[in-house]
Amino acid sequence: MSNLLESEPSEQVIQAACTWIVAGVVIAGLVVSIMYKMTGTPAEIALRAKNKVLRKQLNHTKRTVKKFRQQLKTLSHDDNKLYRSVLGMKKISHGEREAGAGGADIYAKYDVYGKKTANILKWTSKHLKQMERTIKIQKASFAKIERKYNTDRKKFKHIPAIKPVAGPITSGFGMRYHPILHHMRFHKGVDIGAPVGTKIYASAAGVVKHAGPEGTYGNLIIIDDGYGYETYYAHLSAIAKGIKPGVNVKRGEKIGLVGQTGLTTGPHLHYEVHKNGKAVNPIIYFYANTTPSQFLKYKRMAEKSTKSMD
């Protein structure tokens, strides 16, 4: 009997066990409560994960919008500097292109979301709205350019519009170091590298004004393209048969061959465009026989060069 009583748990043992059980439950409850506060309920965790994915997607959208805005900026720049400049049209100012961009905070409705999410939504909405306005202005601009081109189609034949010879741009327009004279001087055209004998084509319709030797230019052809334009083709190895002063030429007609006559470090075509008696950057006139990517490539080549070949 005494052994049986000894094998049964004492009241003290049961009380101690209950105390530990209660304490364990309390501690477990506290741990669960803390975890909920730190991580949330399963539903809250799922919602946060969903919001994180959405915010990631919004950030991706923001990067895409930035990329498109840069493309629109380049398009606007080319619209003014290239198309409108060539056709003699008035440029569209930055203020006109950004019309309607200001005003009250119409995006305050997004403040109901978290700060990070709200900021992304505000930025994206604002810039999408601005892009919509810019695109409308650009579409209207291109429509005007098209009408201007159709009206002045005859004049357009006399505007330099093609790269006159195949080859890379070895030197651009502006101040360049002269490799023979060994000092900086203004380079009035662009140098296009090509082997001796490469065909050269007239960049516009016009009348030959000069065809023959001309000092440091070597063999030079000057074409009066009309409407205030003149084009210079220098360092030729040969002038095409029949090309002489007074002769009419068409755009794309062969006028000579690449050489290295005159003051030059190697074979290339030195090409100049003059408008109303002033030399202008020929690069902006390389649009009729080049793709947009090629045009940008040639532009980068010209800007990168630090010295000329002549």
Digit-coded pLDDT (tens) for 204-257: 999 999 999 999 999 999 999 999 999 999 999 999 999 999 999 999 999 999
What's the token pair of residue 135? 């695109």
Same domain, 256 and 298: yes
Range of the domain at 119: 56-151
> Quick one: pLDDT at residue 77?
72
Q: For residue 161, is it within any domain? A: no
pLDDT band at 4 (very low <50, low <70, confident <90, very high): very low
Same domain, 196 and 279: yes
Q: For residue 285, is it within any domain? A: yes
pLDDT tens digits, 282-304: 998 988 888 778 888 888 888 88
Same domain, 113 and 196: no
- Rounded to whole angstroms, the Cα distance separating 279 from 263 reads 19
> Quick one: pLDDT at residue 127?
78
> Quick one: pLDDT at residue 162?
93
Q: For residue 164, is it within any domain? A: no
Same domain, 174 and 283: yes
Same domain, 253 and 290: yes
Same domain, 191 and 146: no
Q: For residue 47, is it within any domain? A: no
At a CB cut-off of 8 Å and minimum separation 6, what does 246 contact? 207, 208
**Chain position carrying tokens 């649009």:** 287
At a CB cut-off of 8 Å and minimum separation 6, what does 106 contact? none
Q: Last residue of some domain: 100, 121, 151?
A: 151
**Would you say the pTM of this structure is higher than 0.85?**
no
74 C-beta neighbours (distance < 10 Å), count: 12
Domain count, the chain: 3
